[in-house]
Amino acid sequence: MRQILTVFIITVIFKTVNGKIQCKNMRGKSVDWFVVYKLPKLSGSGTTGKEFVYIDSESSDWTRGNDINDEQVAVGATISQAYSADKSSNFLLMYSDDDPIKEADSYRGHAKGVSLFDSTTGFWLIHSVPNFPPIKSYSYPSTAEKYGQSFFCSSMEVQHLAELAEHWKYIQATPYVINLPDKFGTRFPTLKNVQAKQSLTRSATQFWISKPIKTVQGVTLMAYAKHKKFDGDIWNDLISKQNKVTLAVLTYRSWLNGSGDDLHTTCTDSSQTHDVTEMRVTGLNFASSKDHSKWAVSNSQTNPIVCFGDMNRQKSQLKRGGGAVCIQNRNLWQIYHSSVIQVEPCKASFHYSFFRTAIIFIFLVFSVSKI
């Protein structure tokens, strides 16, 4: 009888956990975190702009997906929870500086994301896609098929809405869909500031924050947020310096389209941030001109971090809010680190090259595997 009762309790717990609002994997089941890299549309490669690769906390390498528009897997399955959520008991936020409803907002934070919570758990999805997601049902915009795009989803317990609310307030997130039941507004009053588009007071003197946030399985993420008054590059002036690591960053590069707004590779005595110029993902090579993603990977085996964020490395974005979330995971780090084929080097000869170090690392790994 005791064994039957134990099995019953375990079954109930499993079904309850699996049924909670969380990130969803390629089978539509709950997962601690995932990364999706939507591949660019490339002539001669067979990619249509809908293909993507996927990896999560339970896998060791990329899994290929054929249709980012599929509401049954990963991004689609995760966001689709928002459309069926009970408005009386669930918190929902969709925010974007370039949402599907109105024209792009160049004043507030350059940030895009979706978050949904019930009374116990929820998810936070950071993405780089303009005009996404829709407000009524899931679909992926055809206008965003051309370029590569990034998604990072993390499942967490509801108490972390306190840190998320502060993060959204700092970056000046722009809600275009928000559902804030009284119980959430009472428990997390900063969410009311987010809803009202209220950021820092005029007397504020701290213009960036970093907060550790744990996933449901206990993985510690570090969330970085900068206010527009920080007046700096989140990748180099915040993440690189705070972690004391060299970064390779892939973001939109405007100079490729005739603008001189890019910051380019930045190398100082206290930080190095290299712009990625060429990538290789699952055997597919493409230049950063084909990519709209916003991610970074460190060049440190002792601090193997991968970060997913909101901002491009452009002068115009120094005076805008935005954020990033970093995860320390050696397997994910190796995948991203090895995918960097070429970066823009430092101009000064005495600074070492991320690309040269990456080649040395790959060589050492290959050599060890042959022994």
In sequence order, what DSSP letters do the residues of 91-125 get, joined into one string?
A: EEEEEESS-SSS---SSS---EEEEEE-SSEEEEE
| Token couple for 158 | 């509801």
- With b for 16 or more beta-carbon neighbours within 10 A and e for fewer, the 28-54 pattern comes to bebbbbbbbbbbbbbeeeebebbbbbb
Supply the pLDDT for residue 45. Answer: 87
Give the list of residues 6+ apart from residue 39 with CB closer than 8 angstroms, or none.
Answer: 47, 49, 51, 52, 53, 148, 281, 284, 286
Are the CB atoms for 13 and 241 separated by under 8 Å? Answer: no
Tell me how far apart the alpha carbons of residues 140 and 128 are, in angstroms, rounded to a whole number: 12
Q: In tens digits, what is the pLDDT along the chain, a chain of 371 residues? A: 444 444 333 333 333 344 499 999 999 999 999 999 999 999 888 899 999 999 999 999 999 999 999 999 999 999 999 999 999 999 999 999 999 999 888 899 999 999 999 999 999 999 999 999 999 999 999 999 999 999 999 999 999 999 999 999 999 999 999 999 999 999 999 999 999 999 999 999 999 999 999 999 999 999 999 999 999 999 999 999 999 999 999 998 654 444 558 899 999 988 999 999 999 999 999 999 999 999 999 999 999 999 999 999 999 999 999 999 999 999 999 999 999 999 999 985 434 445 444 544 443 344 434 43
Supply the pLDDT for residue 44. Answer: 86
Distances (CA, A) of 238 to 30, 35, 185, 210, 324: 32, 23, 30, 9, 10
Q: Counting beta carbons within 10 angstroms of the beta carbon of residue 210, is it exposed (0 to 12), middle (13 to 18) or buried (19 or more)?
A: middle
Look at the block and give the residue holding tokens 């992926």: 140
Supply the pLDDT for residue 272. Answer: 94
Q: Which helix (H) or strand (E) holds 323?
A: strand 322-328
Distances (CA, A) of 19 to 31, 126, 180, 300: 11, 22, 22, 38
The number of C-alpha atoms within 13 Å of 283 and in the hemisphere containing its C-beta is 5
Look at the block and give the residue holding tokens 């039941």: 181
Are the CB atoms for 37 and 53 separated by under 8 Å? Answer: yes
- With b for 16 or more beta-carbon neighbours within 10 A and e for fewer, the 345-364 pattern comes to bbeeeebebbbeebeeeeee
Supply the pLDDT for residue 36. Answer: 98
Phi, psi for residue 230 in degrees, rounded to 5: -60, -35
Q: Which helix (H) or strand (E) holds 361?
A: helix 354-370
Q: Which helix (H) or strand (E) holds 30?
A: strand 30-31
Q: Which residues are catalytic?
A: 292
Are the CB atoms for 218 and 267 separated by under 8 Å? Answer: no
**Helix residue ranges, H only, 20-158:** 74-84
Q: Classify residue 255 by its DSSP letter.
A: G
Three-state DSSP at 271 gives: coil
Three-state DSSP at 236 gives: helix
Tell me how far apart the alpha carbons of residues 53 and 36 are, in angstroms, rounded to a whole number: 6
Tell me how far apart the alpha carbons of residues 94 and 227 are, in angstroms, rounded to a whole number: 19
